[in-house]
Amino acid sequence: MAAVNSKNKYQMDMCRGPLMKQIITFTIPLIFAGTLQLFFHLSDLIIVGRFASHKALAAVGATTSLTHLIIGVFLGMSVGTNVLTARYIGAKDRKQTSRTLHTSIAFSLSCGAFAAIIGIFFSKYFLTLMNTPSDILNMATLYMQIYFAGMPLVMLYNFGNGVMRAAGDTKRPFYFLLIGGIINVLLNMFFVIVCKMDVEGVAIATVISQGVSALLILQAMSKMGEGCRFRWKNLRIHWKNLKEIMWIGVPAGFQGSCFSIANIMIQSSLNSFGSDIIAGNTVAAQCETFLFITNASFGQAVISFVGQNLGGKQYKRIRQTIKYCAFASSAVTVGLVLLLYIFRTEALSLFNTNPAVIQGGLIRFSIVLPFLWVASFMEIFISALRGLGYSIAPTVFMILGVCVYRIIWNETIFRMYPEVRVLLASYPISWAIVAVCAGTYCFFVLQKKISKNNVSNTSAVKEK
């Protein structure tokens, strides 16, 4: 039998049916959707790099770490929404599923408004602290202010997407991003090429396109089943559900903020090498993001599948999910790394043809690309722990293994050997540290839950 809910052909029962087929069906739209979401930002970089100036390109790139810092704090909450909704769906608890959904949407709009205020009023101050070069500071500030003005829509989309992923619906968010992506590209070309705007044009285009995607996902949620149907009249915060969301989401958000702080320190160090290195690192990092999308997509699959099967007490499927996703994610990453390495110069040239910028990107590729497969295992194990309801341990692993380690590396090894390659070497080493720690802990957590379940089943049989 198909493991799709009869009331909604897009939803999926992850506790039954052919597991590998379900994972692939679930993950492929996520990869495409993630690629489109990245294309929002890439079209900004490509168009300003080609039709404006490399300083405009550097200005957009210089905001990346800071943007991720502010957004990451709040988007961590959407992980809590995903895990909790999936668990209630697996347990067939429609009432709590509905309360989680409406609490999440109300909370997302509040978080978006707060993030908008921070971004609009404090962008220049934060960018100055990051040693952003004076020749791009004003452009970078303007880009951030416009981008963050649309933050309520960004939050609405991501929290709504978390609910739909928990229900197994990854196809429609992909369709919505496709529509938004097309709008984004067309508006980018209009504002920059026709209207002769630069960073403000691509920022406005991004906000409009993300707004369209958010409204489409809200409309889709109004027609879902299994307690996932959105109703404006039910929009309120249920404090019990918010507490459960925050128990998982706050550590994830805190982890994201610490992760970004470490990256901001690295970005600040990179800024000392000038705008060419900044631009080169920016475009190389964006090329690598295509590979991280694969890791993140399989990680999201792990969270949803583990969450539903935890609610349904299907522990064997939890273990199989982790194994299948780890293998598939690492295999796909290796293939994409080889492809990117072969066409590395061509990929960088899409953004900017300045030889100095391309050389800066090639330096990053030489250090980071060979080890991206390690990040696959890190993502899967961290996601599995969150799906199992463990929020503190993966946060500790990420903070110590990535954030603290990179900060220490930046302040010690890099200070002794102030070269770009030395600075970037902290990335693969930190991935390996977290992958080993999270994988080991995940193994013991799962064994503990399986043993506990076996004891409960044995006791129930004896009572009968």
Under 8 Å between Cβ of 121 and 43: no
204 in Cβ contact with 144 (< 8 Å): no
Give the pLDDT confidence score for residue 322 in this predicted structure. Answer: 93
Is residue 417 classed as helix, strand or coil in its secondary structure? coil
The answer to whether 296 and 82 have CB atoms below 8 angstroms apart is no
Q: CA angle 38-119-44, nearest 5°? A: 30
Angle at alpha carbon of residue 206, lines to 200 and 210, rounded to 5° = 150
- pLDDT the model gives residue 292: 84
Q: How high is the pLDDT of residue 7? A: 47
In a domain, 462, yes or no: no
Asked if the structure places residue 11 within a domain, the reply is: no
- Model pLDDT, residue 457: 54
Does residue 290 contact residue 38 with C-beta atoms inside 8 Å?
yes
- The DSSP code for 388 is T
52 vs 195: CA distance, rounded Å: 11
Helices 134-149, 151-166: crossing angle, 10 deg rounding: 60
The pLDDT value recorded for residue 429 is 92
Specify the pTM.
0.71
* Angstrom distance (rounded) from CA 230 to CA 259: 33
User: What pLDDT does residue 463 have?
Assistant: 47
| 381: β partners | none
Provide the domain limits for residue 330: 19-450
pLDDT of residue 161: 83
Looking at residue 244, its pLDDT comes to 85
Asked if residue 201 is part of any domain, the answer here is yes
Residue 230: what pLDDT?
87
Counted domains in the chain: 1
Q: Two tokens at 48?
A: 């300003």
Residue 460 domain-assigned (yes or no): no
CA-nearest of 162, 201, 200, 427 to 307 is: 162
How crowded is residue 420: how many other Cβ atoms within 10 Å of its Cβ?
Answer: 18
Would residue 1 count as lying in a domain?
Answer: no
Q: Is 273 a member of any domain? A: yes
| pLDDT the model gives residue 1 | 35
Q: Which amino acid is at 230?
A: F
Nearest to 129 by CA among 62, 185, 196: 62
Q: What are phi and psi of 168, to 5 degrees?
A: 90, 5
Nearest to 137 by CA among 185, 66, 187: 66
Q: Report helix, strand or coil for 12.
A: strand
Report yes or no on 4 lying in a domain: no
Which parts of the chain sit beneath pLDDT 50? 1-7, 455, 459-464
Q: For tokens 């110069």, what's the residue? A: 345
Residue 212 confidence (pLDDT): 92
- Residue 173 corresponds to which tokens in the numbers above? 């968010």
The whole-angstrom separation of Cα 206 and Cα 68 is 16
Residue 436 pLDDT: 94
pLDDT for 325: 92
- Residue 461 in domain: no
Query: So what's the pLDDT on residue 10?
Result: 63
Q: What is the pLDDT of residue 163?
A: 84
Predicted local confidence at residue 172, as pLDDT: 86
